Structure 1
Amino acid sequence: MSKKILVYWKITEEQQQKIHDIAAAHGWQAVFESDPVKAVREAEDAEILFGGDQEPLGQAKALKWFCTNWAGVNAYLRDGVLPNTTCLLSNSAGAYGVTISEHIIMTALMMMRQYHRHEAILNDTARTSWKEVVPMRSLCGSRITLLGTGDIGRTFASRVRGFMPKSVIGVNRSGRAVPGCDRVYQVSELAEVLPKTDLLVMSLPETPETIGIMGKDMLALLPKDAYLVNVGRGSAIDETALIDALNHDRLAGAALDVMQTEPLPADSPLRTAKHILLTPHCAGKMALDYTREKSVAMFCEDLENYLSGRPLKHRVDKKRGY
């Protein structure tokens, strides 16, 4: 019996054919099942899984490689999620840079150009004039700091250059140079960078080192007229400290696509904080065809590697968490 690959998320027939052809060329069987219940059954004898939901993993007795169509992998690193400690793990970090960088630019401009105030003027039907001038800021001339310089940070850096910022500074674990950044600092030097920041963009994975990295003391180092955008993980920010800073005008604004608790509870104080823009973890979903196509292409690349006995290009270091 041929060995089995299970793809358990919705992709196009053309994308299915690409995976099928690679599998068949190596004598493997590719099964495609987007029904969650059926996918759990199909996972039992599959050596390779490609999808997102955790349920099939629990039944994958023969699993040797799991590729997630997500970029973040922290959910899979919890005890008992993967069926064994030797199972290879890869992700789709690299597929989301385009869609998330566009989201960052959208939310940054909405805050800096005072979208909510202009919306309020438009909706005030009692007004007899639209001549009020609302002060605005610009990406042009701004000092931008990227806390996280992976695919998302690098893609954003390349795109935001077109807005002519004053500087684009990266902050990462190693301090290694990154294309699009004028300079890169180590995370240990973050306190030196924050006071010189007009727009802080956070795109960190969740690791022990990143949880709570933007706490009260770090937030206090940002200028009062600075803006913050977080598209990484909600755990990276002390939400209580952020709310306090916003409500006391110690920050000009914050745009959060990720929160510590999702979906956001109805009574969450984030909902009523001043100067805040919230979106429902939508920056990196499969809403763009490009994202899905890139994720499948990355899997196909590593499928060829795996079936040919080569190392996976997109393998995750489970100790680091990315």
Structure 2
Amino acid sequence: MPETIALLDAIDERIVERMRSLLPPGFSLIHARSCDPTTKAGEQERLEGLIANADYAISGQIAVDARTLRAGKRLKLLHKWGVGIDNLDLEAARSLGIRVARTTGSNALPVAEFALGLILATLRNIPQGHRSLNEGRWEQSSAGGTPFLLSGKTVGMIGFGAIARRLAGLLRGFGCESLYHKPRPLPPEEERRHGARFASLAELLERSDIVSLHCPLDERTRHLVDRDFLAAMKKNAVLINVARGEVVVEEALIEALAQGRLRGAAMDVFEIEPLAANSPLLGVDRLIITPHIAAMAADNFEPTVRRMFGNILAFSQGEAIRKGDAVI
């Protein structure tokens, strides 16, 4: 009898069929259907019903809590489609004997390229120019304020994992100075290899023309970017968030933009997702927002899916999960 993998995120049927074409022999794939539940309970029941029939589960942006895991009576492995595991209840998984894995570094290049795109879009007023033309206005000098080059600027990265290191590599082509801040500095030889230098948080905020967030979400980083953080940033700097929404106090960011303390900001992640139709972040001047799409790249799809399925197959056969991908 085939073992069942449940995909907890609701995605397009065409994508599911591509995934099915990559399944190892002896596995079947079930998936969430697109829906618009009117209550949180409705969403919870949908997840529980799906995971109840699964030997393995894959979650991209869906939070998996203890109640959901307990519904998976046959569940042996929960696999993250991506890297961040802050939306998975690891303690519950451990207590239930459910292994957890992820695709470490799989989305590093797509997210780094996306962050670079947000930096350029913010500095060069690309969305504003697009919008003004579509609204029938030819505005060269007034669309979004004064444009600036990225070349030669100082970019500070909060966190310096696989994504930030890829971004530092891309920034070398622009002649940027790359600073990073994390709990422990890298050895000097690694800093030289990545073309980046450790800085205290105070120095990074004071010197950086662009501050890009790449830290995991934990108690140390939750609401890290508050009013004090934003006030310490260099005047007319840019803030980029492709990490986690809860790292930023959104009200404080809106305030900083309204008061002109920042040149602009761009966010691909939000404290509550999906973003509500009446969110105060909508329509904010000099703020670019995108719907958590930084990791999505068609040419990165197949390698990542093969890697997830490979980990599941290895586990099923009693073999080790790929080095670095096992969480518990």
TM range (shorter): 0.7 to 0.9
The range that moved more, 269-278 or 295-304, is: 295-304
SS in structure 2 at match of 1:293: helix
Q: Which residue of 2 aligns with 1:62?
A: 74
Alignment map for 1:1-322 (pairs within 5 Å): 4-8=3-7, 16=20, 19-21=23-25, 29-34=26-31, 36=33, 43-44=51-52, 46-52=54-60, 53=62, 54=64, 57-77=69-89, 82=93, 84-119=95-130, 122=133, 135-165=146-176, 167-176=177-186, 177=190, 179-185=193-199, 189-285=200-296, 288-303=297-312, 305-306=314-315, 307-310=317-320, 312-315=322-325, 317=327
- Contact 2:57–2:79 (8 Å) recurs in 1: yes
Q: Distance in 1 between matches of 2:122 and 2:183?
A: 29
What are structure 2's unaligned runs of at least 5 residues?
34-44
Q: How far did residue 220 of structure 1 move?
A: 1.1
Length, aligned pairs only: 302
What residue in structure 1 maps to residue 37 of structure 2? none
Could you tell me the percent identity over the aligned residues? 23
Question: What SS is found at the alignment partner of 2:31?
Answer: coil
Structure 1 residues without counterparts, runs of 5 or longer: 22-28
What amino acid sits opposite 2:251 in the alignment?
T
**1:20 aligned partner, one-letter code:** P
Post-superposition Cα deviations, 1:49-81, rounded to whole Å, max 9, x if no partner, equal 33445597453213232112133222212776x
Q: CA deviation at 1:111?
A: 1.3
Distance of aligned partners of 1:62 and 1:168 in 2 relative to their CA distance in 1, 3 Å threshold: same
Could you say if the C-alpha distance between residues 316 and 253 of structure 1 is closer, same or farther in structure 2, counting changes exceeding 3 Å? farther
Query: Which residue identity lines up with residue 49 of structure 1 in the other structure?
Result: A
Larger deviation: 136-145 or 101-110? 101-110
Q: Shift of the alpha carbon at 1:302?
A: 2.8
Alignment TM-score, normalising by the size of structure 1: 0.79
User: Deviation of residue 301 (structure 1)?
Assistant: 4.4
Post-superposition shift, 1:169?
1.5
1:92-132 per-residue CA deviation (whole Å, 9 max, x = no partner) reads: 342222322222122211111122553466457576x9688
**C-alpha distance 237-35 of structure 1, shift in aligned 2 (>3 A):** closer
Residues 1:219 and 1:311: Cα distance change in structure 2 (over 3 Å):
same
Supply the distance in 2 between the matched residues of 1:117 and 1:74 (Cα, whole angstroms): 34
Contact 1:88 1:315 in 2 (8 A): no
Using the TM superposition, give the Cα deviation of residue 242 of structure 1 relative to its aligned residue in structure 2, in angstroms. 1.2
Q: Cα RMSD between the aligned structures?
A: 3.4
Cα distance in 1, alignment partners of residues 77 and 288 from structure 2: 38
Q: Secondary structure at the match of 2:27?
A: strand
**Aligned residue type for 1:160:** L
Task: Find the aligned partners of 1:257 and 1:304 in 2 and give their Cα distance.
Answer: 33
Structure 1 counterpart of 2:263, one-letter code: A
